[in-house]
Structure 1
Amino acid sequence: MRRVFAVFLVAALAMGLTACAEPGATAAPPATAEDTCPQASVPLSSLDVIDDVRGHEGPSTACLSSRAIEAVDDDTAPKLPVTVTDSEGREIEITDVDRILPIDISGTIASTVFALGLGDQVVGRDASTVFAGTEDLPVVTKTGHTLNAEAILELAPTVVLTDTTIGPKEVRQQLRDAGIAVVVISSDRRLDTTDELVTEIATALGVPSRGEALIARLDASVDETLAEIAEVVPADESDRARMLFLYVRGSANVYYIFGEDSGADSLIDAVGGVDVAAEIGWEGMKPMTAEALVAAQPDVLVMMTDGLESVGGIDGLIERIPAVAETPAGAHRRVIDMADSEILSFGPRTADVIGALARALYAPEPAK
């Protein structure tokens, strides 16, 4: 858990330095697929795959086909009260889920609550929760990652679902002192922990059968997407794209490489890429060095859209980090960007995220 938490802790810091979402504000959603990726809804198997995934020229954007969250087909009423032990070892009794506040750095908890069919009971959101149906919910964060106790208390939630990627912990305690049930969910976000995340949330909300239904749907969609991707992954590993996840926030001079056990490696593996950070022994997430970037020699850089924009696009990236030009990715201007609120969110949209990344890798549309 701590390794992925470290990723989001620094991401949160960087977002906090650049974000300006005040309590009650509405955050801008990612561009729609129609705006940026016209073929986002087309299955990878129906697209023309490029011949040389390592030598392709030019950037591309990974887009979800829809920002909507589909609820499971299960209307079993919540069985309450329920007592759970959260990720911090606290025993919490939940007696009322009529007013749910799901908040974390990536919007994953909220998307899971909506997928469980409890979106109508959600009363507020974090700055990263920007999927369809959340537009009118008040934001309860001072910046991208700082909780505002006053804004939360005004919403009178009966249960708060959160994790350690958002804080401070003193606010969580303040909410407990006010008599609100606060459940701290595991912050471990990877492809292989998504089922556990769903189980934790469904159990806390008294809807375990809905959780089981969501897991079954999620697992089936992930398996189907992985099988589709496997059909286009080059058989020879030497022909597979060498990929590196680069996290940047230009205005804050934040430049990090996401390596092994960061969550980014899980995405790269899922789309059949070679995680070059693992090759150079880069564990977790650490400040980038020019030497590491050149040693990794990535063919493709994977970035968050806002991060890429914060440095002025690819030209600005190369200007700020000259070592990028010394890599195949820099020489070919091969950068794949994806919305910050989506790329590492996992949760109920996991299959959609890896499918979008695979389309951008193997059947890219020019970035706009």
Structure 2
Amino acid sequence: MRYFPRLLAASAAIASVITLAACTSVTTGDTDQHGRTTAVVANTDPRPIADNPTPQLPATVRGFDGVEVTVTDASRIVTADRYGTLTQTVFALGLGDNVVGRDTASAFPSALDIPDITPGGQSLSAEAILNLAPTVVLTDTSIGPKAVQDQLRTAGIPVVFFDPARTLEGVPGQITAVAQALGVPAQGAELVERTEKEIADAKASVPQDRDKLEIAFLYLRGSAIMILGGPGSGADALIEALGATDAGTASGLTQQFQPVTSEAMIAAAPDVLLMMTGGLESIGGLDGLENIPGIAQTPAGQNKRVVDMSDSVLLSFGPNTGQILAALSDAIYRPAAG
């Protein structure tokens, strides 16, 4: 499953118990059936599972690219992927102070002062990374060019590749893989346990006494890029975890993403549109919905019912996944009056 790299290519850019009190929603509509609700994670900083744990090194791991890598020093870590997931994970493991370089997507407050080694947002800079004298680089194939990652290996820097897929079921494995590479397997196990509990708690927060909603995920970048999510989009897993039905999948889509057409939207007939905040703003907010083919003929379009979330948060599938689900649940089922 490689849904997010495909989506990005198409756009040419692109406390141990969680409670809903930690998440907020901002609503511009009058009820949970009308208007826009923005799902917000109150604090996007990763919560360390431990305070500066001592890595058990050397650690030898086989990366996602099949290359065996030995990490002997985790004192200067560079993290680089399109989603900021690896940086989030390192911070959540308690090794945030060791991160000396990060990607643009790692935009949570405690990482902002760390040098950005993807100044264009997507492309690695070998010079920028080498100037940081890293002892290990954590990355994946969602970012490149591969020649830069190869250059770092040639320079003698351990470069560990991880699975680029971002899925709900893949969250524990990704945390475990990062923890093993950095020599903190015990902290990884604790973080997995906490994350899985938070995901379970968020799922349990979904009301059981109401009709099942049909929710469609739309990825938009102005009028140039309009994509409807289907099976394997990643958003479908979030929607299902929230007790709803993924409208794109239910309408018969067989691909992860499909260009929006009137026919596709009418067939999906969503009650709610799930979108990234930047995508919604790129079409002019709620008023811009009328320009999307078929939207006006759907319940969501007629009610202008949209739930949106920050672009860098919604599909990151990192240690904060439980918080994301809780915030979405709050936005979908219990929006603030307004």
TM-score (norm 2): 0.91
Q: 2:44 aligns with which of 61, 67, 90?
A: 67
**In structure 2, what is the equivalent of residue 8 of structure 1?**
5
Q: Secondary structure at the match of 2:192?
A: helix
Q: 2:155 aligns with which of 178, 186, 189?
A: 178
Q: Secondary structure at the match of 1:336?
A: strand
Q: Give the superposition deviation at 1:287.
A: 2.3
Supply the AA of the counterpart residue of 2:4. Answer: V
Q: Partners of 1:183 and 1:366 in 2: how far apart?
A: 47
Instruction: Report if aligned partners of 2:166, 2:316 keep a CA contact under 8 Å in 1.
Output: yes
Q: Give the superposition deviation at 1:40.
A: 5.8
Corresponding residue pairs, total: 329
**In structure 2, what is the equivalent of residue 103 of structure 1?**
80
Q: 1:257 aligns with which of 223, 228, 237?
A: 228
Q: Partners of 1:176 and 1:270 in 2: how far apart?
A: 40
Supply the AA of the counterpart residue of 1:162. Answer: T
Decide whether aligned partners of structure 1 residues 13 and 277 sit closer, same or farther in structure 2, where only a CA change above 3 A counts.
closer
Q: 1:206 aligns with which of 174, 183, 186?
A: 183
**In structure 2, what is the equivalent of residue 280 of structure 1?**
251
Supply the AA of the counterpart residue of 2:247. Answer: V
Instruction: Report if aligned partners of 2:44, 2:109 keep a CA contact under 8 Å in 1.
Output: yes
**In structure 2, what is the equivalent of residue 362 of structure 1?**
333
**In structure 2, what is the equivalent of residue 86 of structure 1?**
63
Q: 2:97 aligns with which of 107, 111, 120?
A: 120
Of stretches 72-81 and 194-203 in structure 1, the one that deviates more from structure 2 is 72-81
Q: Partners of 1:144 and 1:196 in 2: how far apart?
A: 26
TM-score (norm 1): 0.84
**In structure 2, what is the equivalent of residue 149 of structure 1?**
126
Structure with the bigger percentage of strand: 2
Q: Does 1:267 align with 2:238?
A: yes
Q: Does 1:164 align with 2:136?
A: no
Instruction: Report if aligned partners of 2:122, 2:144 keep a CA contact under 8 Å in 1.
Output: yes
Q: CA RMSD in A?
A: 2.2
Q: Partners of 1:7 and 1:263 in 2: how far apart?
A: 8
Q: Partners of 1:349 and 1:15 in 2: how far apart?
A: 27
**In structure 1, what is the equivalent of residue 295 of structure 2?**
324
Q: Secondary structure at the match of 1:133?
A: helix
Instruction: Report if aligned partners of 1:60, 1:336 keep a CA contact under 8 Å in 2.
Output: yes
Structure with the bigger percentage of helix: 1
**In structure 2, what is the equivalent of residue 20 of structure 1?**
none
Instruction: Show CA shifts across 1:213-253 (max 9, x none).
Output: 11111112222221122xx1345xxx2111010001117x1
Supply the AA of the counterpart residue of 2:56. Answer: K
**In structure 2, what is the equivalent of residue 243 of structure 1?**
215
Q: Partners of 1:243 and 1:365 in 2: how far apart?
A: 20
Q: Partners of 1:42 and 1:307 in 2: how far apart?
A: 21
Decide whether aligned partners of structure 1 residues 277 and 83 sit closer, same or farther in structure 2, where only a CA change above 3 A counts.
same
Q: Give the superposition deviation at 1:314.
A: 1.8
Q: Partners of 2:252 and 2:311 in 1: how far apart?
A: 25
Q: Partners of 2:324 and 2:122 in 1: how far apart?
A: 22
Instruction: Report if aligned partners of 1:59, 1:366 keep a CA contact under 8 Å in 2.
Output: no
Fraction of identical pairs, as percent:
44
Instruction: Show CA shifts across 1:18-71 (max 9, x none).
Output: xxxxxxxxxxxxxxxxxxxxx863699xxxxx9x86xx1111100002122110
**In structure 2, what is the equivalent of residue 133 of structure 1?**
110
Q: Partners of 1:179 and 1:366 in 2: how far apart?
A: 57
Q: Partners of 1:343 and 1:145 in 2: how far apart?
A: 18
Q: Give the superposition deviation at 1:106.
A: 1.1
Q: Does 1:233 align with 2:214?
A: no
Unaligned runs of 5+ residues in structure 1 are 18-38, 45-49
Instruction: Report if aligned partners of 1:61, 1:365 keep a CA contact under 8 Å in 2.
Output: no
Supply the AA of the counterpart residue of 1:223. Answer: A
Q: Partners of 2:119 and 2:51 in 1: how far apart?
A: 35
Q: Partners of 2:139 and 2:69 in 1: how far apart?
A: 13
Q: Partners of 1:274 and 1:144 in 2: how far apart?
A: 33
Instruction: Report if aligned partners of 1:249, 1:255 keep a CA contact under 8 Å in 2.
Output: yes
Decide whether aligned partners of structure 1 residues 138 and 317 sit closer, same or farther in structure 2, where only a CA change above 3 A counts.
farther
Q: Secondary structure at the match of 1:68?
A: coil
